Amino acid sequence: MPEKIKVIIADDHALFRTGVKTSLGFYPDIEFLGEAENGMQLLNLVKFLKPDIILLDIQMPIMDGIATLPEVKKILPDVKIIMLTMNDDVSMISRLMEIGANSYLTKNSDSETIYQAIRTCFESEFFFNEYTNKAMLAGLRNKKNDMAPYAEEADLSDKEINVLKLMCEEKSTKEIADLVDISPRTVEAIRDRLKIKTGAKSTAGLILYAVKHGIVEG
């Protein structure tokens, strides 16, 4: 039996919440812990429940997803947050990634895409798709002035650069460990060291750094 991924959904449309829960109910490794119709409700929920993944709508009354995202991370720093929206605003996606979002899906995504995003964020922290790629890679070099401040030139070792490149290729911790011939624990230590050296707050931030500094192609 696969490990259960514990999920909470926050969206102000009850019909949408029900539809997502029903469609994902066919996957045996997904367990819904609860649901909220605004950010305030979600913050109250996560104080008592410990989800692995939160599906968070951007536009909600009382407290929207943008305001809620950093507050959730203060309570549960390791929770993975997948933002839900009706549009694919590139500047918005980039901003959300910089403050801690792990992926970004439009609300017309099919259940398989939502499941893949949940599973990938659970295993590898970050889920790329056409929207995140467009925001973080294609549009990044035109938006340098809007980015959070990073160390201009971090002194990275060859091994750290290699690990960072593999992270940008969406490799999991175990895959990186196998490819570089080190332990998964060492991969995690290198990831933490990269964050300290570059000033990035998250894996998404590391990827932004890698693109900005030409470590990977944008």
pLDDT above 80: residue 55: yes
Helical packing angle, 203-212 and 184-198, nearest 10°: 60
Q: What kind of fold does domain 148-212 have according to CATH?
A: Arc Repressor Mutant, subunit A (1.10.10)
Mean pLDDT of 60-70: 90
Chosen CATH of 5-138 out of 3.40.50.2300, 3.30.460.80, 1.10.1370.30, 3.40.50.1400: 3.40.50.2300
Give tens-digit pLDDT for 189-205: 998 899 888 887 777 77
pLDDT above 50: residue 143: no
- Which pLDDT score is estimated for 100? 82
Delimiting residues of CATH 1.10.10.10 domain(s) in the chain: 148-212
Return the number of other C-beta atoms located less than 10 Å from residue 61's C-beta: 10
* SS3 at position 192: helix
Tokens of 198: 């570059």
H/E run at residue 81 = strand 80-85
Residue with the larger pLDDT of the pair 92 and 21: 21
Delimiting residues of CATH 3.40.50.2300 domain(s) in the chain: 5-138
Indicate the pTM of the whole model: 0.67
- Which pLDDT score is estimated for 147? 44
d(C-alpha 114, C-alpha 117), whole Å: 5
The pair phi, psi for residue 205, each rounded to 5°, is -65, -35
The DSSP bridge partners found for residue 56 are 10, 83
Mean pLDDT of 113-125: 88
- Which pLDDT score is estimated for 129? 64
Place of tokens 């460990």: 177
Give tens-digit pLDDT for 148-189: 444 456 788 889 989 998 888 777 788 889 999 999 899 989
pLDDT above 80: residue 92: no
Q: In what order do the strands lie in the sheet with 80-85?
A: 30-36, 5-10, 53-57, 80-85, 103-106
Averaged confidence pLDDT in the chain: 83
Task: Indicate the pLDDT class of residue 42, thresholds 50, 70 and 90.
Answer: very high
